[in-house]
Amino acid sequence: MFFNAFIIALREIRRNLTRAFLTVLGVVIGVAAVITMVTLGRGATEMVKSQIANLGSNLLVMRPGQGWGDRNAPQFSMGDVQAIKEQISGVRAAAPLAQATAPAVYLKNVRNTDIQGTTPDYFGIANWKINEGRFFDEKDLLEGAPVCVIGETISKELFAGDDPVGKKIRMQSTSLLVIGTTAVKGQGGFGDDLDDNIIVPVTTLQHRFSGKKSKQSINQILFSAEDHYPTAGIITDVAALMRERRGLTSVNQENNFSVTDTRQIADVMSSSTQVMTSLLGAVAGVSLLVGGIGIMNIMLVSVTERTREIGIRLAIGARAREVLLQFLVEAVTLSCVGGVTGILLAYGLCTTLAKVVGAPFIFDPKINTIAFIFSAAIGIVFGFMPARRAASLDPIDALRHE
């Protein structure tokens, strides 16, 4: 009986393909929307996570002032870096970051870029990989050697195809020897280009660029926690240490520095993208529901339109339950076809949009399965009322229906 209902239902669908198309359109769009939103949202979450991981694992950053910057707050010194490294337990490594912006020149090419002065520890903390050549070492640091490591963007923009290693860049009055290039990191969590920088020993920056040896020119200290060591404890310890070093003895005095944990930022950002994903998914879910109501609407209209057909079926001996099954199977078949089409459409949309958005396309079998089952359920739920109406028709009235 079920197989027969299926054949009968398929024949009815085939008889009016336009109607079938319009019926399933809502479900197609609904399913495609749900899957696309959720898939892209998950891709975005993954992207944020990997971007934060790009900055360095277990990375903590200390900046002068509270929040995102009080320009008047005192900068840090190499002594601070040393103290954090030696006195705080759970800190694996610490590195200063002194930043300046200056035009870099190679032959006739000029690019205004960030120059970062730091120590060799920085490469490990900030998760830099070498692409070619080498990082600078303790000896370069001690000497304040005029060497630099450059990012992919500088390599492309300034050297335009030439191998930069061994070439010299002129910045202000200093000539820097390129000793290495870093592997590509891509975009940062805030859309900034992480590869647009020149990294030099902090001593080089202090001696050759600022013109004078200033103790207080370090505007960030980066340090990494040991794996699985609670970062909250480190932050408290570092804060206490820094208050002491900065002479903030009174309880009323606020910290004139702040420590951020990139893992926290990662958590906050990925949870906010997850919330966005759920919201978008829910909105798309509503469109799927509307698609289901569309099926019910067209099935109800079609029961009226097909009253005579139902009458014919009843007259030649179809039982009410067979008519019910036929309409139910029609609705479920349509919604399932809509579900599959929606999944295919979503696949196309996701691959295209993932490129536009820049998020990776992660195929998620779970959401696809859920969307498909949901579309089938929509067929059953919204097909039932029209099917019951069809089955309850009286054959004589139905045959007389014009």
120 binds another protein (CB under 8 A): no
Q: Which is nearer to another protein, 10 or 240 (CB)?
A: 10
The pair of three-digit structure tokens given for residue 172, joined into one six-digit string: 């202000």
Q: Are 366 and 281 in contact (CB under 8 A)?
A: no
Q: Are 184 and 195 in contact (CB under 8 A)?
A: yes
308 binds another protein (CB under 8 A): yes
314 binds another protein (CB under 8 A): yes
DSSP state string for 255-308: PSEEEEEHHHHHHHHHHHHHHHHHHHHHHHHHHHHHHHHHHHHHHHHHHHHTHH
| Smallest distance, another protein to C-beta of residue 302, A | 13
Handedness of CA 183, 187, 193, 194 (dihedral sign): negative
Q: Are 205 and 174 in contact (CB under 8 A)?
A: no
Q: Are 31 and 338 in contact (CB under 8 A)?
A: yes
320 binds another protein (CB under 8 A): yes
381 binds another protein (CB under 8 A): no
The correct pick among 134, 213, 321, 355 for binding another protein (CB under 8 A) is: 321
Q: Which is nearer to another protein, 152 or 322 (CB)?
A: 322
Q: Which is nearer to another protein, 139 or 308 (CB)?
A: 308
Binding mask 339-378 for another protein (x = CB under 8 A): ----------------------------------------
CA distance 198 to 182: 10
121 binds another protein (CB under 8 A): no
Q: Which is nearer to another protein, 319 or 355 (CB)?
A: 319
Instruction: List 257's β-bridge partners, or say none.
Output: 64
301 binds another protein (CB under 8 A): no
The correct pick among 80, 195, 309, 330 for binding another protein (CB under 8 A) is: 309
15 binds another protein (CB under 8 A): yes
The conformational region for residue 352 under phi > 0 = left, psi -120 to 50 = alpha, else beta, is: alpha
| Residue ranges in contact with another protein by CB under 8 A | 1, 4, 7-8, 11, 15-16, 308-309, 311-322, 395-396, 399
